[in-house]
Structure 1
């Protein structure tokens, strides 16, 4: 308890004054800090054990320093080296175990440094104020530490009671100390102490402990004198979480909510006045003109003040209360990104609450109020996410095409495209949607973000899922392009070559060179192409249509994917590809017949008008199995509407959804038959039951409707 008490006193020695503007956003006193830190739910991510190693020249007082900390009195006779000293967590104000290791001066210096950097989190490097040569050798120790794994180092000037501050008057001493701090970033603090009179001994160990529990390096770049980019991202997320109005201004009430949640106390009105007044003079762009709130620049400046005044623990208390680790990685509770339980015949969709939240987010970041989000505005939204790209651009094996609009010569997306893209990702990867929404600040405790609905109900899902089968990659692109390029020039064709390799003419995955665009180079290498947009069905209102291509290399997984997830299958027929009709027929025969179909003929890349006209005539008069509907890129809306309407009329029902009712009917029939048999011929029941297969026998026994009086072998 003594060691614990001394460390607590050292923490209280940190300069915290009410006139200091940074203290306004800290705890009212150190007891609040300790109480908050001991709450494992509030600070779950800091280290549980702190390993401190004591290094230095011979006879500088390393062992005496440890003994003085533990016993709180000075002893002239101490052992040459102490064994490892453990301070239990219950005796530490930070609720962590403190492990202190003494080092023997008989071992080589290099070995001592190597061992210390491997097993310690922080090092106390001790020198003797009465022997200036020990201070001159400090730089040698630091050079050896820098060559190993740099750990936090606290310089401890021992025996201050014998010389006071005489040595500090030497200009060489001050210059060397300044040089050390500038050269070695891992040197975090220096302290003068006396083991004899117990002056600042506990503070030396507290500073080492603090450097481990509240590291400065992840927060601040000392050389450039600015906050680290990852820390800025975390601070921006904190600001956005508490700026609940979403207007980019943290009001005084929101600032007080932040203070209450992270530090457990609210600010007095006069304290808020002091804070805002200080910021308005220091960084005027960080405070509103009426002084009623802070912009992000002002909020960021507060964090910089904490770090500059050596109070990183206040920053870490906020970060850890929100789930950030020492590497500034947000640890998301698994329950917050767990997909709800659902049946195989259900599909994911955004809940009403999540849709409303995303709509508000769109309006909040549509700064110019033009009804569109520019690339810059999109980047601003996702600047607080670990991957700053929108979630529909993060799918490694898929490329999602969506409608873009040229606004003042730059690409932008509308609200309907914004929601369509989110819904498309929810269909493919609902867990990723939950993760991104958590970063953005969606509160799933009030309402879940993802819901599951029956896919075969007409009005259950807002999304119609279509799988595109057949044709070449360029055929499929020509079919997808009008869905997403009504107002965009992103995929407009650009003739770059009229030559093609005849050997590749029948390759169904070949991208014809004469339909390439400025983005086609990326699309050639995309594993799977998808396109999504809103479709006005006129009769049933607006639905989202998500079309996914299926490559020619079919396998069992592709068939399973289609049968499980397809609302409708669209077959693309290119009459210029050899055996294209036969290939489509083979696929069509194997797929579940309950899934709706639509058969589309696409115009080949190199077909002339006459050739295309003759092809259409032959198709109309032929007795083929399929009636191919020609696709008109100039009027594609009718084709897309038919896809949505046909999918809604015939929704697939998975095998599990119909097998359960049938199995139930069979079970009811068997049980009824058994009941009648028991009633009419009770003596013959056991004999008949013994002849049943083991599976049926087990089923009857589990119903508890019949208990046999005769023993029989179930395995017969």
Structure 2
């Protein structure tokens, strides 16, 4: 059964108890469930369920007992991999079992890549030799320093029921209110993603935007998160604690952001993680401190050849954000200005692939308005949910459903011979050293480099393209490495999201031309087989070099046979290549043209036409026969009636 509801809320916690044989695992589970020391305990208990009202959080706990025998190792590993939390036991009267935690069990959990939090539990506390007292904190401190996955340590006695319920309370708490996403134990500070989330919450609650939470705003925050107001004396007490501990935590206007962050760090240090988690979850965050999927109304039900775009409302918002953060009004965002935009998002989204270095920048490395909007268009195309989450995090205040729209099916566009899309996705094919990377770099204003660096992974770039008449479209170029074409085409729907495909070849290299032609035919066949045929263009790159003999004649003949435009000569090294991007967009805007047809495809089309015309002939013939029979029947009926 899933341990989360559709809204991402925990519906149960699965705790797996493991450890050396004879450390008291089964007795611990039985005592917790029955609140009594068991007279007889089987070697391994069946799964035991603590009901939802057993602990204050109202979430049921399923406890799974395990055997440490070699015969049961496969089952043990399976259970550990399914665990939400792991309880590791040792026996207080057997020091060797404690040593085994760091020598075997904890390294074994790492080896198995178990990510669940660990609760270390010393059982049989009543049997410890009183002549050999042990300071648990001193013994466990170095172990916890080495194994950060240990959430807490506790000792208990099933015989005397000392701290038995607390064991599984801490295990449940470690799952429902985990420390790791919020707090860095080594640095003793809030983690960056936690700070970003709390900053966003602070800003949302600071309605008058004066940089502080007034008493009224603080009280409203308390009611929203905990359904209970703060008494005036409590507000005074909260602010006094902050004032005493941190300079600048309270101003004349109220609790500052510094004070707000300090309070949450204090809650966590004192073990009250549930307080901070209650706040975060009320504002829509999941365990990874990202906005939950259930509050992101991303359109998911659409055909493969439909894509998602930003609406004009969302684009207007982003233009306003750009102007707001362009503090020096130079028409571009410096890295510091750019980072400020995403200070309330989980992280700056465009510092990693596929977004890093995917848009136009100034020679100084600043992001232009075209680059800014193009990055958003790229993110919307590749990951609409991620895009919407970031929009909300940076302050999009409109209805989230108004930020995205689903485009019309490309098959419909083809029939109507026009499209309503504003963003076009272009696949760039070609053999190695054909100039694919140079074309992409040229598109985002990067200077030509004669140093060849092979592209091993898919790469994206995006930019605005101005068309005749002044209209502007966004074009996304996706470079497909030659070695990745076979894998791409193995997916029947691989071309569904593609609006146009271009095929580069080095016009001075005969092999490059032949390989590009092969790729073109492979894509054309896949388009015919899948029904997702796309407009295609051939680009004769490195036009500044001497062409190989018969280059123009061969390429012109192939494009004519396939029903495509003649190859487009491009010399990225020597001259401006902007016109080629306009032609790519133009091809995408006319989805019924430039779709290559192979001989097999033409035969299939002729066959369909023949079948359709035959069916039409049969339909007309049958219709005429029915009409004749009907007329004869009517005349017979009329004759009988007159008689």
TM value normalised by structure 2: 0.63
Alignment of 1:324-335 (within 5 A): 332=293
| 1:652 and 2:592 correspond | yes
Instruction: Summarize deviations over 1:493-520 as a string: whole Å, max 9, x none.
Output: 5xxxxxxxxxxxxxxxxxxxxx52xxx5
- Separation in 1, partners of 2:19, 2:358: 60
How many residues were matched structurally?
548
Describe the SS at the equivalent of 1:49.
Answer: strand
Structure 2 partner of 1:550: 503
144, 148, 152: which one aligns with 1:188: 152
Return the match for 1:405 from 362, 377, 380. 362
2:368 aligned residue: 414
What do residues 322-377 of structure 1 show as CA deviations (whole Å, max 9, x unaligned)? 78776778774699555452585x66532223323433554565465544223344
Q: Does 1:95 align with 2:59?
A: yes
Q: Please point out which of 375, 395, 401 is paired with 1:446.
A: 401
Aligned to 1:306: 267
1:140 aligns with 99
Q: Retained in 1: the 8 A contact 2:120–2:152?
A: yes
Larger gyration radius, structure 1 or structure 2: 1
What is the aligned partner in structure 1 of residue 556 from structure 2?
585
Which SS does the other structure have where 1:551 is aligned? strand
CA distance in 1, matches of 2:472, 2:211: 36
CA contact 1:153–1:208 (8 Å) conserved in 2: no
Partner of 1:24: none
> Aligned pair in 2 of structure 1 residues 361, 645: CA closer, same or farther (>3 Å)?
closer
Distance of 1:192 and 1:645 partners within structure 2: 70
Instruction: Give the root-mean-square deviation of aligned CA atoms.
Output: 5.7
Work out the CA distance in 1 between the residues paired with 2:6 and 2:224. Answer: 12
Paired residues of 2:50 and 2:60 also in contact (CA < 8 A): yes
Which residue matches 1:682? 630
Q: Deviations over 1:427-460 (max 9, x none)?
A: xxx2424334335536875325143144777682
Distance 1:585 1:466, change over 3 A: farther
Q: Counterparts of 1:325 and 1:433 in 2: how far apart (Å)?
A: 18
Unaligned runs of 5+ in 1: 1-37, 129-133, 494-514, 606-631, 686-716
- Contact 2:225–2:279 (8 Å) recurs in 1: yes
Deviation at 1:683, TM superposition (A): 8.5
Distance 1:174 1:567, change over 3 A: same
Among 379, 385, 408, the alignment partner of 1:434 is 385
Give 1:581 deviation, angstroms: 0.9
Q: Tell me the residue number matched to 1:460.
A: 420
Q: Is the 8 A contact 1:152 1:212 kept in 2?
A: no
CA distance in 2 between counterparts of 1:431 and 1:648 reads: 18
Q: Which SS does the other structure have where 1:681 is aligned?
A: helix
Deviation of 1:96 after TM superposition, in Å, equals 2.1
- Equivalent residue number for residue 242 of structure 2: 279
Q: 1:49 and 1:183, CA in 2 relative to 1: closer, same or farther beyond 3 A? A: closer
Pairing 1:547-696 to 2, within 5 Å after superposition: 550-552=503-505, 553-554=516-517, 555-559=520-524, 564-566=533-535, 576-578=546-548, 579-593=550-564, 599-600=568-569, 602=571, 633=576, 639=579, 643=583, 652=592, 674-682=622-630
Structure 2 residue aligned with 1:225, among 167, 188, 197? 188
- Tell me which of 443, 463, 485 is aligned to 1:532: 463
Superposed CA deviations along residues 377-419 of structure 1, whole A, max 9, x for unmatched, are 4456567878855299417xxx97642114xxx3111222211
> Is 1:202 matched up with 2:161?
no
Q: Tell me if structure 1 keeps the 8 A contact 2:534–2:591.
A: no
SS at structure 2 position matched to 1:652: coil
